[in-house]
Amino acid sequence: MLGWSRLTFILLSGTVTCLVAQQVPPWTEDCRKSTYPPSGPTYRGPVPWYTINLDLPPYKRWHELMVVKAPALKVIVNSMKNIINAFVPSGKIVQLVDQKLPGLLGNFPGPFEEEMKGIAAVTEIPLGEIILFNIFYEFFTICTSIITEDKEGHLLHGRNMDFGVFLGWNINNDTWVITEELKPLTVNLDFQRNNKTLFKATTFAGYVGMLTGFKPGLFSVTLNERFSIDGGFMGVMEWILGKKDAQWIGFIIRSVLENSTSYEETKNILTKTKILAPAYFILGGNQSGEGCVITRDRKQSLDVYELDPKQGRWYVVQTNYDRWKNPFFLDDRRTPAKMCLNRTTQELTVYTVLIDVTKGQFETYLRDCPDPCIGW
């Protein structure tokens, strides 16, 4: 669900998918079953599929998609500017974004800069605002990811994406503005070379990095934000000041999906590469025991917590808090998720799968928070 909900049992995957303790208030800590396929008041519909042809020049890869999604992207970019102008009414920050941000950030790695320039051209949105849309995710994503293994050693990767909390509250329908405006931009993408699928991902049209994706038959990966004093703002400032030895977190996910050829190779890259913002990388493979949560600060790995089915650890759950610390009491998604997984046991998890690396199954569903809907 885009927006906050009470999570209890999550094995639904993609970027905007979750299960809630109750479909509508009042919420309890009952664990719901038979919720797949999604239906009812929290279900908005499936996410459309598009193909990204990696054989095209980077400047042209997103043109076909962005012709369709340009109006929705303009809406959310305007909302982002309105939020900025609410804090700095002079409009000088937005002016700085339009005129100076591309030069301040300099060259982006790989194909990303040319891809963003192409998106700016086809949507007629200033390049600085397209860049702002792309770096927004270094700061504001709130997510839940789960990897489970059944008794036959089959791995399932579940994910929900929450984005937009505290970014403009709509008092008319009790929703977060950015959350609602991201839903029309949510897309499934099939990245192809030589007319063959290289990887699949769910993202927001206009964003060239990736937060959720999988390489059929090899691995799946999701990204959760990790809050830290030494966070993404510090990383971006270092980048602006010329220290560019770290990678943008959305870009590194895109890079491993495009280039890595195994679970172990991907784990090594995500564990050791310097990144601009602290993060949790949740990685799943295609063999028993191939599942882990990598807790990262900007320069190094702090913890790699792995599946260990022989010791009874048949799932890992990651929200936005270090596993060895208590979550914020208003945002405890970890406890109900673990509670319901423990009640469900391994034998009942298979029917809820939406990401399955081995079978190549990848499904995404948009969700709603029916009124009355609290902000978290």
Could you give the residue numbers annotated as active site? Answer: 143
* Beta carbons of 77 and 210 less than 8 angstroms apart: no
Separation of alpha carbons 341 and 19, rounded Å: 12
Strand ranges, E, within the chain: 43-46, 49-53, 141-149, 155-163, 169-170, 175-176, 186-193, 196-204, 212-215, 219-225, 279-284, 291-296, 301-306, 315-318, 355-356, 361-362, 365-367
User: Partners of 281 in the beta sheet?
Assistant: 223, 294
Separation of alpha carbons 66 and 140, rounded Å: 23
323 token code pair: 């596993």
Q: What region, left, alpha or beta, does residue 61 occupy, with left being phi > 0 and alpha being psi -120 to 50 degrees?
A: alpha
- Kindly state the DSSP code that residue 352 receives in the 8-state scheme: G
The amino acid occupying position 122 is: V
Strand order in the sheet with 219-225: 49-53, 186-193, 196-204, 212-215, 219-225, 279-284, 291-296, 301-306
Sign of the alpha-carbon torsion through 68, 71, 72, 74? positive
Q: Collect contacts of 61-65 with beta carbons under 8 A, ≥24 apart.
A: 61/111, 61/115, 61/118, 62/115, 62/118, 62/119, 62/122, 62/205, 62/206, 62/208, 63/118, 63/122, 65/187, 65/189, 65/205
CA distances from 167 to 3, 120, 265 (A): 11, 23, 37
* Beta carbons of 357 and 286 less than 8 angstroms apart: yes
Phi, psi of 261 (to 5 degrees): -120, 5
